[in-house]
Amino acid sequence: EYNLIGKDLGLSPKVAFDYSEKLIAPYINVSKPKVAILREQGVNGQKEMAMAFYRAGFEVYDVHMQDLLAGNVDLLQFQGMAACGGFSFGDVLGAGTGWANSILFHPKIKQQFSDYFADNSKFTLGVCNGCQMLSQLKDIIPGAKHWPQFLKNTSEQFEARFSSIKITESSSIFFTGMQGAQIPVAIAHGEGRAVFADDNTRQKSVISAQYVDNNGQITQNYPLNPNGSQDAVAAVANNLGNVMIMMPHPERVFRTVQMSYYPKKWQDNSDNSGNSPWMRMFYNARKFVG
């Protein structure tokens, strides 16, 4: 890390799209689609996630796994679902594993998730612990068999940083129109290293975002790549793009005031209501459901 300081340019965001564009304007006077903000014991990122989707024009619902297990809530009533970050079951069984098993080993709940994922008109976003959990459901998510698993960081430390990622060309509905952007984002995880089963799945993977250095180059150098992910993977989508998982936390930086650094011109843009470029992905989700 110290060896990189002398030649490091510092954070160098690059955004070519108009992030102040009012993508949701056509939907202001129509009914709000419902999104489930999904959490489990130990998850702690639900409030930021809920606010991001609320600002994008959704009717947000706090859905705990116990609500599903008790039969009080049915996932199929929602147009979208976001699995949030945190430490479900204290990561005791491995990050996201206990949460995933509470779905996979409960036949009724597993079927409910399978039915939800089978509907291509619905979207799913998994962030951090939600990413780790959903990666273990890939066998019931259409077009996700190529997803990696997420293992302990190469540093063997919990990494909490402000890292740069670049949005790639992919099928992801969340990143529509954002391709090529290089944007800093919060990361906070101990098991975020994406590892593919083999070269075949690696080649088929729909990589949607990658860690980059401050020259915009994909990097394996620590700490610019904070976890050592293969191909610097920060986000992957399913083939159709309506399901995406990512280790970084865009919901923690959807407003500029949440960011530890941002270009002054982002603050001076009076048309964006204080939004950072990350708000675009939540607007994209709203546009997707129509």
Tell me how far apart the alpha carbons of residues 152 and 58 are, in angstroms, rounded to a whole number: 34
Q: Enumerate the β-bridge partners of residue 39.
A: 64
- The residue with tokens 């698993």 is 149
Tell me how far apart the alpha carbons of residues 257 and 64 are, in angstroms, rounded to a whole number: 29
Residues 40 and 88 sit within 8 Å (Cβ to Cβ): yes
Q: Enumerate the β-bridge partners of residue 275.
A: 255
Q: Enumerate the β-bridge partners of residue 124.
A: 81, 243
DSSP 135-180: HTTGGGSTT-TTPPEEE--TTSS-EEEEEEEEEPSSS-STTTT-TT
Tell me how far apart the alpha carbons of residues 245 and 54 are, in angstroms, rounded to a whole number: 20
> Catalytic amino acids?
128, 249, 251
